Amino acid sequence: MSKEILRIKAETPTQLYNYVNAKLIGLICEEPDPLANLANAAALLYLLLDDLNWAGFYLMRESENALVLGPFQGKPACTRIPLDKGVCGAAARTGEIQIVPDVHLFPGHIACDGASASEIVIPLIREGRVLGVLDLDSPTKGRFSAEDGQGLSSFVETLHRYVAWDELFAGR
Ligand code: SME
């Protein structure tokens, strides 16, 4: 069977994210390696969502009180984000989804790619522990809505079901 993943023209965000989620399950449900699964998850979002210039993960390094760059698609990015900095830091610190319509108006925004105009960051929280964040950037202001927040939250739920976080964080 072909593993090719096609972009679809969805009628609604719900339809789009149902499709993205189904493809994610297909990609990661039989693969035990957590890093491989996060890499494919980032690539899937970058392929299937419109109007992105960056999609990927920052993973918590508690000993440094910072997030460290994980698997992603897009231009090379800053490797470390202290929890008191940036949109990613705010998501990890508060445990809440951050939707930033104009990154230039966000105090402490870290500009990794000058093309980024808006951003959404979903915290990865399991059993009360912040494991990291999922970060998407767009070159278009106001690109992300509450519906993207809901769709990406269910994407993250799927990650929690299949990604072997304990293995990934062993020794971190
Ligand atoms: N803009 C982010 C930093 C990460 S890059 O967007 C990939 C922030 O302010 O948290």
- pLDDT tens for each residue of the chain, 172 residues long: 457 888 898 889 999 999 999 999 999 999 999 999 999 999 999 999 999 999 999 999 988 899 999 999 999 999 999 999 999 999 999 999 999 999 999 988 888 888 999 999 999 999 999 999 999 999 999 999 999 999 999 999 999 999 999 999 986 6
Angle at which helix 34-48 crosses helix 13-28, to 10 degrees, equals 150
The residue nearest atom 3 of ligand 1, judged by CA position, is 110
What six digits make up the tokens of 66? 């910072």
> Where along the chain do its domains lie?
3-169
- CATH fold, domain 3-169, is Beta-Lactamase (3.30.450)
Q: Can you say whether the dihedral through the CA atoms of 34, 40, 43, 47 is positive or negative?
A: negative
Bridge partners, residue 129, by sequence:
126
Task: Output the CA 85–ligand 1 centroid distance in Å.
Answer: 9
Going from the Cα of 90 to the center of ligand 1, the distance in angstroms, rounded, reads: 11
Please provide the distance, in angstroms rounded to a whole number, between the alpha carbons at the two ends of the chain: 38
pLDDT of residue 13: 93
Pocket of ligand 1 contains residue 77 by CB under 6 Å: yes
CA dist 64 and 60 (Å) reads: 9
Q: What is the pTM of this model?
A: 0.96
- Does residue 137's CB lie within 6 angstroms of at least one atom of ligand 1? yes
Say if CB 20 and CB 155 are below 8 A apart: yes
Cβ–ligand 1 contact at 112 (below 6 Å): yes
3-class SS at 19?
helix
